[in-house]
Structure 1
Amino acid sequence: MDPTRGLIRTTLNPTARIAPGLAGRAAFELFTHPVRRSRVRASEREVHGRAATERLAVNGKAVVGYRWGSGERPVLLLHGWRSRASRFAPYVPRLRALGLSVVAFDAPGHGDSGGRTTGVPEYRELALSLQERYGPFEAVLAHSLGVCAAFGALADGLRAGRLAAVSGVSRVGFFPAAFCAGLGLDAEVERALRERIERELFGGDAGGWERFDAARRVEAVGGPVLVVHDEGDTVVPPSEAYRLREAYGERLELTITQGLGHSRIIAEPTVVDQVIGFISAGREVAVV
């Protein structure tokens, strides 16, 4: 057993029974802090180095944005937790070959951006700010946490012709439950953490859980959706993908892969081919 996890568990579980506010604050700090930053991999350097960089900001945090192309006919990329925009390097030249521009960012606390913490609402705000610069998107491609943010942004005014979601989380409520389960934290800690999330990330609005639940806002999300998920994903279970399929019905195309896990799937050539084909199919479709 990881001794750090054991220490967190044996500290926070009893604290939550005595001082739930204190336990919630400590859990929140751990929950929103990525711990480590991913570096640009050797296979990503050439594509990463060709990007034009720009400065963004959210909640006082400096954020690095990336653009490949002029900004016309943009595709938005949203990376996952403890990841960075460069992970989408296999997609960039393929999208450029279609005559599309590509825009992305490293979220706060990730990659080359400032800050130590972030959450789904900040992804949403950054996506909407990029829309102000470049107009509606031809498509959005998202991975993991970025999928949850993409659905939330699309329901709140982000305009895109279609969404490709890889290894995605369907609802923000998944995160505190998975976080506490992974550390062996009990129900009292999870309850305190959820209260802290409502206060700090949702501005005291308990409706934030529904606002970032893709299955509950189907009518607000237009356009076709592609979901790709691995059956052996141990980070985000495939039940999240099936939940989306049930909610969106025939409008959602679901592909279940084998042996790719949660992270390797994003650069798998067959997955790249499928995503590019899906986005390409919508090139002449008007943005909704």
Structure 2
Amino acid sequence: MKKIQFFIITKSIGLYLNALSYVNLEEAKNKAYQLFSQPRKGRIKKEKLPKTLQNVTYETFEYQTEKFQTYIWHGTRGDTSDSELAKQSERSEANEEIILLVHGWESNASRWKKLLTHLKPLGKTIIAIDAPAHGLSEGTEFNAPKYAEYINVLTQKYQPKIVIGHSVGGAAISFYLNKYKNPTIEKVILLGAPSDFKILSDNFVKLLSLNDKVKTQLENYYLEKFNIHIDDFSGHQFAKNFTQKAFIAHDTEDKVVLIDEGRKYAKTWKEAIYIETTGLGHSMHDDDLYKKIIDFI
């Protein structure tokens, strides 16, 4: 029943936008982009923080006019409690070995709960970020280039050596590395990451059955907004020039980002370990996989 309702709603929206394109194409494009870039979930409230994000150090950054939230687990060895870690507010200096966690679409920093149990014993400082319009971060618009700018603001201060991205978070990392060529990042871990922005856009157009007029306007808008043609907006093409070591994992049953995207990264990234899993879907939560990630780190 829910699938039928979803089908009716999406096609009705598409029908409206197609009709609008004959009256006001610019408005149709704007509404389509808003739907494409505005997450429907992933927000959290300060008074109802997930347990994973409690008793940590909080730091707020700013990009242009918007603030974005980060969470810091300070590096230590042994059985130091989260509450004790939160008090060590001066431990994360720029020269400390830091791991940066970058979540994906309609999620927030709490998605790393299971991986954190594996990362903390390493004794490294861990920083998780809330994406634009997600978690406690401000804004209403989400896209990989904007996310990459958040990453850039944070890395200028903390200079992480390891970055881990899930889903579009991984795509944002690829866009960031292509634009900023950060030599301090030594290792990259991508989990279920999309490569070709055109595929994401085409899937959205197909979902709503948008006409060619709206599709063309959207693609022109991407070029204007991101200063890159949609056909060139490709993570695996960026990866050809990356010098970092990579660990790339993708699930064969991922229905959100198909397995071919992971295989593209694996073919072009020069120093990459590639693993295919089965049965994990898009979330990629798995203890055995996380142990392999720890070994890679």
TM-score of the two chains, using structure 1 as the length reference: 0.85
Note the aligned Cα RMSD (angstroms). 2.1
| Distance in structure 2 (CA, Å) of the matches to 1:219 and 1:115 | 32
Equivalenced residues, count = 268
| Distance in structure 1 (CA, Å) of the matches to 2:216 and 2:294 | 41
| Distance in structure 2 (CA, Å) of the matches to 1:230 and 1:189 | 33
Superposed CA offset, 1:173-195 (max 9, x none): 33211222223324332222122
**1:33, CA displacement in angstroms?**
0.4
Match of 1:258 among 261, 278, 294: 278
- Indicate yes or no: 2:154 matched with 1:130: yes
Match of 2:128 among 104, 120, 124: 104
Could you tell me which residue of structure 2 aligns to residue 60 of structure 1? 65
SS at match of 1:191: helix
Could you tell me which residue of structure 2 aligns to residue 144 of structure 1? 167
**1:143, CA displacement in angstroms?**
0.4
Point out the structure with max Rg over C-alpha.
2
**For residue 280 of structure 2, what is the amino acid of its counterpart?**
L
Q: 1:245 to 1:187 in 2, by over 3 A?
A: farther
Could you tell me which residue of structure 2 aligns to residue 88 of structure 1? 112
Q: 1:83 to 1:226 in 2, by over 3 A?
A: same
Could you tell me which residue of structure 1 aligns to residue 294 of structure 2? 276
In structure 1, stretches of 5+ residues that fail to align are 280-288
SS at match of 2:13: helix
Q: 1:88 to 1:174 in 2, by over 3 A?
A: same
Could you tell me which residue of structure 2 aligns to residue 23 of structure 1? 28
Q: 1:209 to 1:64 in 2, by over 3 A?
A: farther
CA contact (8 A) 1:28 1:197 kept: no
- Indicate yes or no: 2:232 matched with 1:193: no
**1:131, CA displacement in angstroms?**
1.1
Superposed CA offset, 1:185-228 (max 9, x none): 2433222212222233x1xx245763x42222234321221111
- For residues 214-253 of structure 1, what are the structure 2 equivalents within 5 Å? 214-248=235-269, 251-253=271-273
Could you tell me which residue of structure 2 aligns to residue 162 of structure 1? 187
| Distance in structure 2 (CA, Å) of the matches to 1:199 and 1:6 | 27
Name whichever of 44-53 and 117-126 sits farther off: 44-53
Superposed CA offset, 1:129-162 (max 9, x none): 1111112x22111000011110111122233111
| Distance in structure 1 (CA, Å) of the matches to 2:10 and 2:218 | 17
TM-score of the two chains, using structure 2 as the length reference: 0.83
